Amino acid sequence: MKIICIGRNYSEHAEELKNEVPSSPVIFMKPDTALLRKGEPFFYPEFSENIQFEAELVFKINKIGKHIKSKFAGKYFTEFTLGIDFTARDVQEELKTKGLPWEISKAFDQSAAIGNFLQTKDYDLNKIEFSLKKNGEIVQQGNAFKMLFSIEKIIEYTSKFFTLKIGDIIFTGTPKGVGKVEINDHFEGYIFDKKVLDVKIK
Ligand code: MG
């Protein structure tokens, strides 16, 4: 399986990192080794002094497809959750300055935390509220309607380039409010009031 991630999908977050608001989705990927296994702590890596959290809605592909039109994209997933796209911001800033690919700042081991999946049929996908708590306090809040590119548009665009396969995961980008991770932090992710994600930092 592969993990497809979208960057700059909320205009307020693009602004907080002083990035341009994109005219098509910004895509990067993480390998399957980036998955943080359920119940495992996130071990703060040695190569960064500025690991940041990015809370994101995450969809799981359940059907193989290529060149999927957005109006049919809803047939390619049935489950979603909240995830954290852990980012070595110091490393990423250096790579961006040099015009180099982001992989080592974004796709390292444990950089993709994923919560318990919920059924999409139980929700209005355009109005999913989500939030992330750090040590009991809300640090990020988002709503799917604020995404620049909906999950359907993301699937249409992504599948022009990459065949989507069963089990692939799509991170849909983070709203504003990203911030630093410290050792001993405790993160909890919510879809509306339902807790779906729990990650401790070691
Ligand atoms: Mg992200």
Ligand 1: centre distance to CA 66 (Å): 24
Contacts of 202 (CB under 8 A, 6+ apart): 41, 42, 43, 44, 183, 184
**What CATH class does 3-200 carry?**
alpha beta
For residues 108 and 89, the answer to whether their CB atoms sit within 8 Å is no
Ligand 1: centre distance to CA 150 (Å): 15
pLDDT for 17 equals 81
**Tokens at 66, concatenated:** 């290529």
Ligand 1: centre distance to CA 80 (Å): 16
Ligand 1: centre distance to CA 119 (Å): 22
Around ion ligand 1, residues with a beta carbon closer than 5 Å are 54, 85, 174
pLDDT for 105 equals 98
Ligand 1: centre distance to CA 140 (Å): 13
pLDDT for 18 equals 79
pLDDT for 160 equals 98
Ranges of the chain whose pLDDT falls below 50: none
pLDDT for 2 equals 98
Ligand 1: centre distance to CA 8 (Å): 8
- The candidate with the shortest Cα–Cα distance to 156, out of 103, 77, 57, is 77
Ligand 1: centre distance to CA 28 (Å): 9
